[in-house]
Chains A and B, each alone.
Chain A
Amino acid sequence: MTMKSSTRQVDGVTIVDLSGRITLGEGSVVLRETVRDLLSKGQKKILLNLGDVNYIDSSGIGELVSAFTTAKNQGGELKLLNLTKKVHDLLQITKLYTVFDVKDDEATAVKSFK
Chain B
Amino acid sequence: MAADRVSYTLDSTLETVNNAEETAGRMAAEAGFDDEEIMKISMAVREAAVNAVLHGNAYDPSKKVTLAFERNDKDLVIVIRDQGKGLDASKIPDPLAPDNLMKTSGRGIFLIRSFMDEVEIKPSQTGTELRMIKHVHGNPADSKEALQ
Contact = CB atoms under 8 A, between A and B. Distances in A.
Chains A and B belong together in one complex: yes
B95 interface: yes
A93 B46 CA distance: 17
A66 B105 CA distance: 10
Contacts of A58: 47, 50, 105, 107-108, 111
A96 interface: yes
A74 interface: no
Given A24-B14, A58-B107, A94-B107, A99 B50 contact: no
Interface residues of B, number: 20
A59 B50 contact: yes
Contacts of B96: 94-95
B101 interface: yes
Interface residues of A, number: 20
Nearest to B112: A58
A53 interface: no
B95 A99 contact: no
Given A57-B43, A58-B50, A94-B96, A25 B105 contact: no
Interface of B: 14, 17, 39, 43, 46-47, 50, 54, 95-96, 101-105, 107-108, 110-111, 114
Given A24-B17, A66-B104, A95-B96, 13 more contacts: A58-B47, A61-B107, A62-B104, A65-B104, A68-B102, A69-B102, A93-B114, A94-B95, A94-B96, A94-B107, A94-B110, A95-B101, A99-B102
